[in-house]
Chain A
């Protein structure tokens, strides 16, 4: 009658749970109070599991380097990229902007870009109540040629 799974459950009972740690142990009574405490440094949350090297996260866009060739728009399967015409509505000096709420994170625009002015960061915390909020529209992430910005690599603190 020995059950084959008895050993397994006993082993698991006395070992650490396999689940990744949640940011806080259990759902707090007030989410806002917890968030405030975390941002003011009074409380600690368990950091997220780090993303791997080639993770496809939020897009970073070097507006200065962009030549407005529209290649990224051509290959984007989700129509997540909007073309902004240059001054006087001319093609010259035209730029793009990215709507992350539509993005499917396929990395096609990154490959298609002839100037390498688009890249994907490890940032994955993009939950927002409003799909058109500023946090979800990438207009300019600064120059890539400048020394790497550590802020762009780390997940931004969630807004309360």
Chain B
């Protein structure tokens, strides 16, 4: 028992550290590519690491009017909850570390946590800019929850039609092979709506109203500095990895090692196969973030908050709902 707990703890620590590194690396790639798309040179790939290490060395200023314990606690909450999401995610060939202790519903709620922490932090900062940012954060969050929930439940519907526990994240189940032609169209729509949710979830242009540099001067983050700011920065990096992992877990849970035979093994473990699958996983994460974050934030301006809300509630929600309907017809009508 104790041994099992110790293994889980060690694995959790490894996953946490690895996801911080990968998350920051992805941020670097995102910044570099965005810069090149805009005709700039852009920062070096290691810039996010420098940024974080600098932030952690800097003075941590708490505003005079802030509720200081909430103000200082919220970055920690955001950061830890982002890490905890990763512990529930299947990462490439690895099964989720805490797979036995929760399912997809928990993960969806965990995704709300960093945003919630940011909003509370904004409210507690005592600045009107932070308060407006926090209001916007809540509005955006409530809006994208609807399409997110529809996607998760549609997937559960497919899985339970095949006699599998619908909300599990433990098994790499390919939903595409479980539905007919109509269902595949439905899945495409669901994938599209999930990709649309990502910029809102990560507060990136065009849905970065909570931070909105030119309108609110950083919004929820306006009063944060030093270590607290660094914590939010890390939370953001890990969260972008986590949301990409969610897309992979729901829609693309394949590895490529099974297509190769005779991969060398080390001491009875399929090390090469794992490395191959791990690299393929990273490639998938990169492609998902490229399509849904980097390109989108480069080609679009920021939209207004009412527009963002209606986009998620109606446009994305409708796309997801149609997808769900198609899948329902496919499963129950036998198309």
Contact = CB atoms under 8 A, between A and B. Distances in A.
What is the predominant secondary structure among interface residues of chain A facing chain B? loop
Contact of B37 (A13, A22, A26): A13
A17 B299 contact: no
A18 B39 contact: yes
B141 to A, nearest CB: 25
Given A13-B33, A26-B44, A19 B39 contact: yes
Contacts of B38: 9, 12
B300 A3 contact: yes
B41 interface: yes
A9 B40 contact: no
A81 B333 CA distance: 92
Given A13-B33, A26-B44, A3 B39 contact: no
A9 B297 CA distance: 11
B39 A6 contact: no
A64 to B, nearest CB: 47
A9 B298 contact: yes
A5 interface: yes
Interface residues of B, number: 15
B106 to A, nearest CB: 35
A3 B206 CA distance: 13
A72 B298 CA distance: 52
Contacts, number: 35
Nearest to B300: A3
B36 interface: yes
A108 to B, nearest CB: 38
A17 B38 CA distance: 8
B329 interface: no
Contacts of A9: 37-38, 295, 298-299
A28 to B, nearest CB: 11
A22 B36 contact: no
A15 B39 CA distance: 8
15 contacts: A3-B299, A6-B295, A9-B295, A9-B298, A9-B299, A12-B37, A13-B36, A15-B39, A17-B35, A17-B40, A17-B41, A18-B39, A19-B39, A19-B40, A26-B44
List the 10 closest pairs (A to B, CB-CB), nearest first. Answer: A9-B37, A18-B39, A12-B39, A5-B299, A17-B41, A26-B44, A3-B299, A13-B37, A19-B41, A13-B36
